[in-house]
Structure 1
Amino acid sequence: MKPDLRKAWESRVLVGDGAMGTFLYQKGFPVGISYEELNLTAPEVIGDVHRQYIQAGAHVLESNTFSANYDKLSKYGLEAKVEEINRAGVRIAREAAGQQGYVVGAVGSIRGGKRNNISSEELKQHFEQQIHALLTEGVDGLLLETFYDVEEMLMALSIVRQASDLPVIAQFAVEDIARTLDGYTMVDAFRMVSQAGADVFGFNCRTGPNGMARALETLDGMRSLPASVYPNAGIADYVDGEYRYGATPEYFGQMAVRFADMGARLIGGCCGTTPEHIAEISAALTDYKPAPLPSPEMTADRVVVHEHLDAVQEERKGEPTLADLAKERHTVIVELDPPRDLDITKFMKGAEALKRAGADALTLADNSLAVTRMSNMALGHLVQSRVGLRPLIHIACRDRNMIGTQSHMMGFDALGIDHVLAVTGDPAKFGDLPGASSVYDLTSFEIIRMIKQLNEGVAFSGKPLKQKANFVVGAAFNPNVKHLDKAVQRLEKKIASGADYIMTQPVYDSELIVRMKEATKHLDIPIFVGIMPLASGRNAEYLHNEVPGIQLSDEVRERMAGLEGEEGRKMGVQIGKELLDVAAEHFKGIYIMTPFMFYEMSVQLTQYVWELSGRRESPLFH
């Protein structure tokens, strides 16, 4: 007879299953239907998915009931079938699990990251209905997953504890690991959830293995409960109308041991994972013997010291465009991410340091990876007025409709910001506010054309403007693809739409830089080659396995393996210089991306470009 779940994860690491929704999507079931209804209409399909995970080595199956609550099912006219769908989900999973497998009833967040979209009373009623159905059918435990705020988690936990003493796994969806959406630190969330009766505290969805590891690190030395982790298979990439995930099964196997070393006793997968991912986790943990869990040890909150910065305002007038400069000499654009909080001290210090190093422009992303950051328009204005460094501002199709986009561009013109980079933008559902809408009124091709239309004195509506804008518009290019020729064809369309220059994704392969030069030699606009120094071995593996559009060579990964801190950054800069040796030989445009606000690394690489070009610093500001 198998032990209950609590006994099982005390002595070993249990392997969970992988994704249900994205796996069904890959099998041809379209977005826009209720996957939970398949418990009734196609139970053999759901049972087959469960069996594949069991055969891959999973010990614990989730019932296909994540969204099987009144609120979510009512969108499909299925609100009268809450109990039927939940109970069927448990039965199907139980049959697949057999005598030795465990079945946990999956209960997802109802608010889904949105605030005030449903009253507390309704929330309570919907949780009670679903949880009662799962308990009635007989589960081994309950999995409360993809919760964004502590308040909703505590409500669901309270309902479970009033009805049952079965094991409860409480999992938050994390992207920004510092706090939940309702403002609690992960340490506070852990304390409150454990006091409310959770047996396991963990994380799922929103991020890949690297983000999960960082989330666990915030609880290091503070956690006495077992942990659970169900990461996504990296960040989803939207290609040809489909979502694709890049983190490989082998990478999941490697990360599984790391999770176990950090106290995880239940390890599975979320969006994008497949039976192959679970098989690698299972194989990696076959002979793993977990260490005893630590005792609770709460520590004081860290104190963040804010430094005041006085910047000198300067005006820049009558300068050539970056596209013009890059046709004449080596030209360096450096990216510095806007902060995710209200303190701009370090950002402004970085901008000043890069100005002194001779950067020709500072480029600011537009909520990259759909993560909320300070307005790049506001920061661009500060960089221009206080530091005297030209801002190059990204503008994403994701966040604004056509009205907002034109309004935004008119604001840039009023502030004298004339260099922009048009990008599609990562879908909002994969960012830190997944309840937000992705707009996408315009494609990247269309937004380029519309911005250039403003240069003709014509509004997006076709009506004449009283004066013309003077925007210099860049376009993004990802050379890290299997078929470089097809990527160049797409690039040619952006140029035909009006792009004045090109900025590439980070490149970590010298041979690719050479191939890229050959493939684009017929183009008559400047290309800025993306170079992003690696900060650590973990950073290298995260970028390679989880971030769409980035591929590292085996040699680079081997050189970065195991390096952390100053040692990792030193090697990252060295690899960056070696890439610059090739990039500067074949291209005059250089685009340096700053990792984790380590702007000193970008300073070193900027100065190295001037050494290669025979100048110690840029002639533009000196």
Structure 2
Amino acid sequence: MNSSHAFRARLRSDVLVGDGAMATLLYLQGNAIGASTEELCLTEPDWVRDVHMAYLDAGANVIETNSYAANRDSLARYGLETRTTRINRASVQIARQAVEESGREAFVVGSIGSILAGRIRGTEWEEYRDIYEEQAVALLHEGVDGLILETFYDVEELLLALDVIRPLAASSGTPIISQLSLLEVGRTRDGYELTQAFRQLEAAGSDVVGLNCRLGPAEILGSLEKTIVPEGMPISVYPNAGRLGMIDGKVQYKSNAAYFGDYAVRLLDQGVGLLGGCCGTAPEHIRAIADAVAGKKRVPRINPTLAAKTEVIERETPRIELPPSPNIVDLVGQRHTIIVEYDTPKDLDIEKYLAGSKALQEAGADAITLADNSLATTRVSNMALGAILKREMGIEAIAHVACRDRNLIGQQSHLLGLHALGLNQVLVITGDPARVGDLPGATSVFDLSSFDLIRMVKQLNEGIAFSGRRMKNKARFVVGAAFNPHVRNLEPAIARLERKVEAGADFIMTQPVYDVETLLAIREATKHIQVPIFIGIMPMTGSRNAEFLHNEVPGIKIAESTLERIKRFEGEAARHEGVQIAKELLDVAVQHFNGLYLITPFHYTDMTVELTRYAREITAAQAEIAVAAHGHHHGFGCNC
């Protein structure tokens, strides 16, 4: 029997003890790891071997290679992608050398970590196939006894990895251990209950299913207690050393080795056959496990009853349906709809802003849209003023949500707060870089792209949090996306727009347009888009503003005749002429678009009030003509 077959047999019959964290021990030993822990397989192999030896001495009989993030995608961050195969093969050689030098009976398993590794996916899963194949081939070629696919937050990614690796491992009979990481007890980030996830992993050919990282022993135990594991399926568990936190001014893990040993016995009672440690664990944790399970036999897994399982799920995830509210997507399908952008003030005097918003509503605006610190300049929160507009003044508000200012935690919290205040119509944008704003030393976050954020907002509408947790209520967001037509080649911009619609955008708002030619080009290029498009129009405030837009803003072109026309005026007269030019553009826009997006320049609300009133007049006249011609009113289409 070769070593892979022996390992497979032991996984099904015995209690095995895994090792603990690699980086934790290297840090404790005072070693300077540098950028990549995996690169140490080439630069400091003795350090890696000494860690393996420490875990073997502590009682581990399953040793993982130092190859968790040794894939081309992760190594490319450090310019090491060309060394992918070398690092993986060296990791096996070092682990095997440590086992031989220890004189102990132990198995060497090749560690393959998630490529996504907790990030938001920015590419298609299929692009990961070659990356997984390259790493797995290197580990298998060097003769590992098994493979451990670990720290996968998403079931879908783990299933793809199994689909690639399972055929490669089949010829040698190499067993595959598949371990998920949970952001909360019992559920994966992509919304799978653990029972469902384990069932799918079994169907995909995994030899062992389990959990590692993120959660400590208690929460992993709680997850297993509620999970139905496929009959006869071996279980592996590699908990973190509790939760990471600040202790005595240092970021560290709290749980001690004795606690780990106590929970090892409890996990054994759940049918776990392979126990090790993940982040924060050291040889003393592994020694505690080894001592606790010494001489013990495998305990048959006893699943919770289906009735009990269903009761728990229903108790934890009651469904509460929220009443529907009117939205601009419904409205624009029936008639011309006007959205006016009006940026919040830069200081605490909001009375003028509220008065301007009221004037816009009285002029006929269907909604006020509030930018999210536009141009990276600090303003009063659009959440706060949007709530005042809607709750106190009865004005529909659409809040912009920029990717720039909030990490994943803040972004979800912000969205939930908007929804709680009744602001469920949002425009998702990337956001200008922080360095162009009034606090150039601020950090741009960008945990998410606009595509990612659109998808995540729509995920909230399915009742699933960013973490994959099932929420008690489903959100009712209506999600807009931005479109910039001011590019040399419109085709790539349209392709980008199509991706936003595929991600879930319910409506589109364009950057301001200044000429009929561009307006008609947008209409022609977007006629296949199946969501409403609000065409942006912003009146020029004078010749200097027009010259700036024409000469300094990429892609914007203003006709020479228009530039000469506005040059003849100054001050209020120039603003009046800017409004007249915008009205002429509106005359054409209403013939091709049901959605009108008027943008207030420099807080000159009198300009957009006049434009809103004019737009309402000409669209009302157009509707009367339609009624007279057909004898009854016909609803308009998305782009009219």
TM-score of the aligned structures, taking structure 2 as reference length: 0.48
Structure number with bigger Rg: 2
